[in-house]
């Protein structure tokens, strides 16, 4: 087996599941509680939209199995400038998001492991980032194995909650209608809740970003993307439904640890605290997965001339060493900024903007599928255009729910990628860098 292609089906699927299900799922029921039944309707829209996006990515991966992920998909269909803008925007979102997850995990470390209680949170966050940087420096297979293990562990409390919910449904069905949230269902409420729901589902692209490192990509990429997305969506929807329908709305919305609240409801007050350890494992798995992804994405951008060539080199274990070190340094700086009072507000807003910055890559991939289906008649399944249009419509719907300011910031981040692309084009004349093509 080539050293370059170290990710098999299970590792690729674990990357999707692990990156989607981080620590957000454990607080997400509280975030959605104020929206009441709008949240469940939003999840229905989100599942349809995310499945459409996952199908779009799967079809693109099958059409271009040897491609270097979304950069090639978008570049082939829409042109290099669109690929550069979308991937640059996404790159910023990924390393900012990785640091943000590490900040959240550091809080659980201090709570669940008393030995670290006196350690400054910034040091814990930086330590978390560098720990998983070292894991991934040992090679993709090393990071992939950690991802499989943590993905399996993080599903434990989720399966437990679903089990209790099913038991309640079978033994006391009236419980599911006794606490129906009174919040009226409205379009604006559903749109706002859909934005939060998509935030929770970010990561559906995790298998295709390191596409050039995946074994048997024509078969593995579509299967891993769809399997991971469907599994994560099923878990999210079921867990949200159990929490919203069994816990009074006001109590759930006020809970700092909604999962603990749900488990306390079933097994007695105080007995849900152990879930904090599994939340810690889940968060650490997400940091590992996004670290792996950020390194591979940095390598991809470097290999296409959008970042210095040094960042595209791999060590003897096949890991993009310089790329991983760069994102670790950037993440550490952001973590330190987060704990500086003068910067904390700006950092918090930046994370919201970074989340919105994930949307352009989804929109461009869905649009790329539509363009390729029209350009290459018969090369893609007949529903490809419909799938792409649903994906585009969904991202526009979510952009509307996010609000004007994050939308404009996302566009601004995309725009910063255009000068970099133009500089790359100037270099290409001398360096003979190839245009992205299948």
Residue 81 sits in a domain whose CATH number is: 1.20.1740.10
Please enumerate in sequence order all residues whose Cβ is within 8 A of that of 158, keeping only pairs 6 or more positions apart, or say none: 21, 25, 235, 239
Residue whose structure tokens are 């078969």: 219
Counted domains in the chain = 1
**For 201-346, where are the E strands, in sequence order?**
none
CA distance 267 to 207: 37
Residue whose structure tokens are 């290409």: 428
Task: Tell me whether residue 92 is in a domain.
Answer: yes
Closest CA to 53 of 397, 407, 387: 387
For residue 142, the model assigns a pLDDT of 84
Please enumerate in sequence order all residues whose Cβ is within 8 A of that of 91, keeping only pairs 6 or more positions apart, or say none: 294, 297, 298, 301
Closest CA to 223 of 426, 5, 7, 4: 7
Closest CA to 368 of 387, 344, 342, 345: 387
DSSP state of 35: G
Task: Tell me whether residue 177 is in a domain.
Answer: yes
Would you tell me the crossing angle of helices 404-431 and 80-112 to the nearest 10 degrees? Answer: 120
Residue 431, H or E segment:
helix 404-431
For residue 77, the model assigns a pLDDT of 92
CA distance 69 to 25: 27
Task: Tell me whether residue 239 is in a domain.
Answer: yes
CA distance 254 to 247: 11
Closest CA to 301 of 110, 90, 98: 90
Closest CA to 148 of 292, 38, 256: 292
In the structure encoding, which two tokens stand for residue 20, read together? 């989607």
For residue 376, the model assigns a pLDDT of 86
Per-residue pLDDT of the chain in tens (438 residues, 90 and over written 9): 344 666 788 888 888 988 888 776 766 666 777 887 888 888 889 889 999 999 999 999 888 887 888 989 999 999 988 998 899 989 988 888 888 888 777 777 766 677 887 888 888 888 989 999 999 998 878 888 888 888 877 777 777 777 777 777 677 766 555 555 667 778 888 888 887 788 778 889 988 888 888 888 888 888 999 999 999 888 888 877 777 777 776 776 666 566 667 667 666 655 556 666 777 888 888 898 899 899 989 998 898 888 888 998 988 888 899 999 999 999 888 777 766 544 445 545 655 666 778 889 999 999 999 999 999 888 888 889 999 999 999 998 888 877 777 778 778 877 887 887 888 777 766 555 555 555
Burial level of 67, CB count in 10 A (0-12/13-18/19+)?
A: buried
For residue 432, the model assigns a pLDDT of 52
Q: Which residues on adjacent β-strands are paired with residue 7?
A: 214
Q: Is 113 left (phi over 0), alpha (psi -120 to 50) or beta?
A: beta
Would you tell me the crossing angle of helices 121-137 and 140-171 to the nearest 10 degrees? Answer: 120
Q: Which residues on adjacent β-strands are paired with residue 11?
A: none
- 38-395-295 Cα angle (round to 5): 115
Task: Tell me whether residue 372 is in a domain.
Answer: yes
Task: Tell me whether residue 435 is in a domain.
Answer: no
Domain range for 267 is 9-429
> What pTM, to 2 d.p., does this model score?
0.82
Task: Tell me whether residue 34 is in a domain.
Answer: yes
Burial level of 429, CB count in 10 A (0-12/13-18/19+)?
A: exposed
* Helical H segments across 342-383, by residue range: 344-356, 359-375
């Amino acid at each position: 087996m080539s050293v370059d292609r170290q990710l098999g089906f299970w590792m690729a699927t674990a990357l999707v599941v692990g990156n989607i299900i981080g620590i957000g799922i454990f607080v997400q029921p509280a975030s959605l509680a104020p929206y009441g039944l709008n949240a469940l309707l939003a999840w229905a829209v989100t599942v349809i939209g995310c499945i459409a996006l996952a199908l779009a990515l799967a079809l693109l991966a099958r059409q271009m199995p040897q491609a270097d992920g979304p950069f090639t998909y978008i570049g082939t269909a829409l042109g290099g400038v669109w690929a550069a803008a979308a991937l640059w925007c996404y790159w910023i979102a990924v390393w900012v998001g990785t640091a943000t997850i590490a900040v959240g995990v550091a809080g659980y470390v201090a709570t669940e492991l008393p030995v670290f209680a006196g350690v400054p949170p910034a040091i814990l966050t930086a330590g978390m980032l560098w720990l998983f940087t070292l894991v991934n420096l040992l090679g993709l297979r090393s990071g992939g194995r950690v991802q499989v293990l943590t993905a399996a562990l993080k599903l434990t409390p989720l399966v437990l909650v679903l089990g209790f919910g099913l038991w309640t449904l079978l033994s006391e069905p009236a419980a599911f209608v006794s606490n129906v949230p009174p919040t009226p269902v409205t379009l604006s409420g559903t749109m706002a809740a859909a934005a939060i729901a998509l935030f929770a589902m970010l990561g559906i692209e995790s298998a295709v970003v390191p596409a050039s490192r995946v074994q048997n990509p024509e078969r593995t990429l579509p299967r891993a993307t769809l399997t991971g997305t469907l599994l994560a969506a099923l878990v999210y929807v079921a867990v949200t439904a159990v929490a919203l329908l069994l816990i009074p709305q006001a109590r759930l919305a006020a809970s700092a640890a909604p999962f603990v609240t749900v488990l306390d409801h079933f097994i007695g007050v105080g007995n849900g605290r152990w879930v904090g350890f599994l939340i810690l494992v889940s968060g650490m798995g997400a940091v590992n997965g996004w670290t792996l992804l950020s390194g591979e994405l940095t390598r991809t951008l470097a290999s296409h001339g959008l970042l210095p060539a040094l960042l595209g080199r791999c060590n003897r274990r096949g890991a993009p060493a310089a790329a991983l070190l760069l994102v670790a340094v950037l993440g550490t700086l952001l973590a330190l900024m987060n704990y500086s009072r003068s910067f904390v507000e700006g950092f918090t807003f930046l994370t919201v903007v970074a989340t919105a910055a994930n949307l352009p890559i989804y929109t461009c991939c869905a649009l790329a599928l539509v363009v390729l289906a029209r350009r290459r008649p018969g090369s893609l399944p007949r529903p490809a255009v419909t799938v792409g249009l649903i994906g585009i419509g969904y991202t526009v719907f979510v952009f509307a729910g996010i609000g004007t300011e994050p939308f404009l910031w996302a566009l601004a981040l995309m725009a910063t990628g255009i000068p970099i692309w133009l500089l790359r084009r100037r270099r290409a004349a001398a360096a003979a860098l190839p245009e992205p093509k299948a």
